[in-house]
Amino acid sequence: SDVVFSTWKDNGIKGFYKGSLSPLIGSLIFRSLQFSVYRGVYSYLNENNILNKKLSIFFDTDLKIFIAGFVSGSMRSIIECPFEFIKVNQQTGQDWKFKDIYKGFGSLYLRTTGMLMWYFVNVDLIQRSNIFGDYRFSSFFISGSAASISWAFIWPFENLKNIVQVNPEFEKQSN
């Protein structure tokens, strides 16, 4: 509660939105791109009969889903990292330099590729299980469940990314 009062006293309402412009702009780009890239890669692999293999260890999930999710996460990571770096540094009041905008990329990459790969795998698993049936709002519950499961697995990488992006100790290691 001290943080709330201090933020309000020092910055007013603007203090609660510090660092929000960067992820707003970035989200418009990388969140749209992640689904377009996934669909494009999956369709290409499917139409050309590439990697037609089911992974029994993952309940017969199609290998193409893993590959398309991985490529989607890779593309998103490249675009997202500068926006995340700016956001985290603005939120914590850290000074930053343009040359450092890919600081924390390793952790962000593991987080994002892992999250999207598992998101698309989970969507497939949940759809095939038909747990939510064929109701009007099924896709809402399928996507929400898949995202929550994926996020739970990759949360440690989110923490690592934030620590690396604002901690000067890691500056030499990440350059």
Which pLDDT tens digit goes with each residue over 64-95?
A: 999 999 999 999 999 999 998 988 888 888 88
pLDDT of residue 66: 92
Q: Which residue ranges of the chain lie beneath pLDDT 70? A: 1, 168, 170-175
- Measured in residues, the chain has a length of 175
Which tokens sit at 9? 């006293």
pLDDT of residue 4: 84
Q: Which residues pair with 61 in a beta bridge?
A: 55
pLDDT of residue 59: 79
Give the number of other Cβ atoms within 10 Å of residue 122's Cβ. Answer: 22
Answer yes or no: are the C-beta atoms of 40 and 64 closer than 8 Å. no
pTM for this entry:
0.76
